[in-house]
Amino acid sequence: MQTEHLELYALGALPEELSKAVESHLKTCVDCGVRFEESRKTMGDWQPGYSGPEKRRHLRVATDDPAALTVLQLEPAPRLKTRILDASKQGLRLLVPHDLMRGAVIQIHVRDLFILAEVRHCRAVGQAFHAGVQIQDVFPAVG
């Protein structure tokens, strides 16, 4: 069983036929069952389409602000055009053109702010990606 199928199954993002096949396979394959549980632990409580009570500590507010994002690494990285889709006191949901690695530290320039954040998750949405980031610090932009 492909790890990608297990992750998509955990997210509830597989077509119904494939979802049933994965579910059936998980009943008989211990190795895949272990990998599936590891995938679920990695994703934490995040579930797309969740309609129960809000679990976040801070209210999330919808937005559509243009921003520039830079992945901080040893070698300089190019700025990526991004959009901030919603925001809370501790996090942002971004629309980005490329997959971002979980745990990557990024800087976001928006309006007159410089935001330092850590990527918590990133998933494909059409030709782009939605990234959930946890805000580490916010500074006024210089010059």
Identify residue 64 by its one-letter amino acid code.
Answer: D
Ranges of each domain in the chain: 3-43, 61-140
Greater pLDDT, 137 or 32 = 137
pLDDT 10s digits, 55-77: 666 666 777 888 888 887 766 67
C-alpha atoms less than 13 angstroms from C-alpha of 99 in its C-beta half-sphere: 5
Highest mean pLDDT among 2-16, 34-48, 70-84, 89-103: 89-103
pLDDT 10s digits, 89-129: 899 999 999 999 999 999 999 888 899 999 999 999 989 99
* CATH for 61-140 (3.40.50.720, 2.60.40.10, 3.40.50.920, 2.40.10.220): 2.40.10.220
CA distance 101 to 118: 10
Per-residue burial over 88-121, b = 16 or more CB atoms within 10 Å of its CB, e = otherwise:
eeebbbbbbeeebeeebebbbebeeeebebebbb
CA distance to 16, 28, 143, per residue, from 87 (Å): 32, 42, 24
pLDDT 10s digits, 12-23: 777 788 888 888
Highest mean pLDDT among 33-37, 48-52, 70-74, 135-139: 135-139
CA distance 55 to 36: 23
Q: Which residues 6+ apart lie within 8 Å of 53 measured at CB?
A: none
